[in-house]
């Protein structure tokens, strides 16, 4: 009887264990099914976000052509002096670009941020070109960025005087002549001649008292006098105009300059008789360099996504610089961050918890974006390390890394294609966009490009060039060259000082 009970109990226990095993297996299967279903749902949600991003950032060639047409229209309005034009089309008063014949000693001062540069160059004419050049970079103490005009310009003039004192025997100033300077001033200026212009407003963290409305050349000249420095400012230029001058000196076929860096701008050579707002005698050269200030361009043709609109709304200048916010280095990384944040919220891209660091505006910079985009390793190791550093997620799957690189590709491609549309619009404006209908050969046309975004983000610059070729067509594009003009604005200002020298007629 006892043995039978024991056997019965064992049978019951075994049955219970069997049931438990079956239940556990079913639970695991159910959990696996649920997990698989949740993962499939996450992938569906991620795919839906990516598909919408692809759609909203799309730039088909037909759209780029219509954007270029809209930009040409705004350029024409700006040249007429229409106050409602999106493009300022500022007259630079530069009508003589360097020819290569310039010779002598010239200085340049480049002020456009928290550092400024002083440069000197000895020019040897067409044969020797740039015989020698030297430069120094100086940091501006923070308190001078918010001090008085006299304090700031005295500091700059003192640094310039110190630099002049180090002038070696390789640099020669003809006896009885005054040193001459080209002044690159990259702040909004109402220019009234080649060597004078009044400051409209300070930007880039500067808020100096007593300069707005004043002639910045006069402010610098008075400061140089106080330092006992005998030097004349013969050219006041914007950095893009300086890049154009530097580019033309190196290549006589340069017709335009484009900056693609933290910000963006373009300048080009226009026929003076195509500038209705120009008053007075036409320049002898028949040409005038126009500073487009194209970063302010906006049009309902531009493919603005929800990410662009949100970024613009939260910016310091909502509704302004729309084109710049879509193509320049200041903003590309931030657009990528906003898309990744959407994927984190809507599709748990980085897990169930949204990484707090990803919520921080501008935490992802464009150089980081470029490094991730250029990662060609099989496991995207560099990209994974960047995500760890920037987003704070230690382990990311290969799928997450590929998605991130795809987003970088979409944002960079749109920016590059829109930049190419801008360049194409300038070529259209000056009639260099197609082969002449009379059968004559299309003249060689060179665009000088400068800026860290174009120089260092190779996938971006490559896309700019291939898109421009696509817009121009095979035959016309064979005559158009995009050429890197690295650091063209510094030497460009010195060259413009030479081409607008007070001794030009004597020489």
> Which positions are catalytic?
117, 186, 239
Half-sphere exposure of 500 (CA within 13 A, CB side): 27
Instruction: Find out whether 122 and 105 touch, Cβ atoms under 8 Å.
Output: yes
Tell me if 289 sits within 8 A of 270, measured CB to CB: yes
| CB-based contact 395:351 (threshold 8 Å) | no
Strand order in the sheet with 287-291: 90-91, 287-291, 264-271, 254-260, 445-450, 480-484
CB 259 within 8 A of CB 450: yes
Q: Are 204 and 185 in contact (CB under 8 A)?
A: no
- Taken as a whole, the chain contains a residue count of 507
How many C-beta atoms lie closer than 10 Å to residue 244's C-beta? Answer: 36
Select from 419, 223, 195 the least CA-distant residue to 329: 419
Q: Smallest Cα–Cα separation from 202: which of 213, 191, 218?
A: 213
CA distance linking residue 211 with residue 201, whole number of Å:
9
Expressed in percent and rounded to 5, the helix, strand and coil fractions of the chain are 50, 20, 35
For the purposes of burial, counting CB atoms within 10 Å of the CB of 239, is it exposed (0-12), middle (13-18) or buried (19 or more)? buried
β-bridge partners, 270: 288
Three-class secondary structure of residue 250 per DSSP: helix
């Amino acid at each position: 009887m006892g043995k039978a009970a024991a056997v019965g109990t064992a049978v019951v226990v075994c049955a219970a264990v069997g049931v438990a095993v079956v239940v556990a297996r079913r639970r695991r299967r159910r959990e696996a099914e649920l997990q698989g279903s949740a993962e499939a749902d996450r992938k569906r949600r991620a795919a839906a976000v990516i598909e919408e991003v692809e759609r909203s950032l799309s730039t088909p060639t037909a759209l780029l052509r219509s954007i270029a047409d809209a930009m040409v229209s705004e350029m024409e309005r700006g040249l007429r002096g229409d106050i409602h034009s999106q493009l300022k089309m500022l007259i630079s008063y530069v009508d003589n670009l360097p020819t290569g014949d310039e010779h002598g000693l010239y200085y340049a001062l480049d002020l456009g941020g928290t550092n400024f540069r002083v440069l000197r160059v000895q020019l040897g004419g067409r044969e020797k070109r740039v015989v020698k050049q030297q430069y120094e970079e100086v940091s501006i103490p923070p308190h001078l960025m918010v001090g008085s005009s006299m304090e700031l310009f005295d500091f700059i003039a003192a640094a310039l005087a110190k630099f002049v004192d180090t002038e070696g025997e390789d640099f020669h100033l003809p006896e009885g002549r005054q040193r001459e300077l080209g002044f690159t001033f990259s702040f909004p200026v109402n220019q009234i001649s080649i060597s004078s212009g009044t400051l409209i407003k300070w930007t880039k963290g500067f808020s100096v008292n007593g300069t707005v409305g004043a002639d910045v050349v006069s402010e610098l000249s008075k400061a140089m006098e106080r330092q006992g420095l005998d030097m004349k400012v013969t050219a006041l230029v914007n950095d893009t105009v300086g890049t154009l001058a530097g580019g033309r000196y190196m290549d006589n076929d340069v017709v335009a300059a484009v900056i693609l860096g933290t910000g963006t701008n373009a300048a080009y050579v226009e026929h003076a008789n195509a500038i209705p707002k120009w008053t007075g005698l036409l320049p002898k050269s028949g040409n005038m360099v126009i500073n487009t200030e194209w970063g302010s361009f906006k049009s309902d043709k531009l493919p603005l996504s929800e990410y662009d609109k949100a970024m613009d709304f939260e910016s310091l200048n909502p509704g302004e610089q729309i084109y710049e916010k879509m193509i320049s280095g200041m903003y590309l990384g931030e657009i990528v961050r906003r898309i990744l944040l959407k994927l984190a919220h809507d599709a748990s891209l980085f897990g169930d918890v949204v990484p707090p660091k990803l919520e921080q505006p501008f935490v992802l910079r464009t150089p980081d974006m470029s490094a991730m985009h250029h990662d060609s390793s099989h496991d995207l190791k560099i990209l994974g390390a960047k995500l760890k550093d920037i987003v704070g997620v230690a382990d990311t799957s290969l799928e997450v890394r590929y998605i991130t690189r795809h987003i970088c590709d979409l944002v960079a491609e749109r920016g590059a294609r829109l930049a190419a549309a801008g360049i194409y619009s300038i070529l259209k404006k000056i009639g260099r966009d197609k082969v002449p209908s009379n059968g004559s050969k299309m003249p060689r046309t060179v665009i000088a490009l400068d800026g860290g975004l174009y120089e260092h983000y190779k996938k971006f610059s490559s896309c700019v060039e291939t898109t421009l070729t696509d817009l121009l067509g095979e035959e016309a594009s064979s005559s158009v060259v995009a050429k890197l003009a690295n650091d063209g604005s510094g030497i460009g200002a010195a060259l413009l000082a030479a081409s607008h020298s007070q001794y030009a007629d004597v020489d």
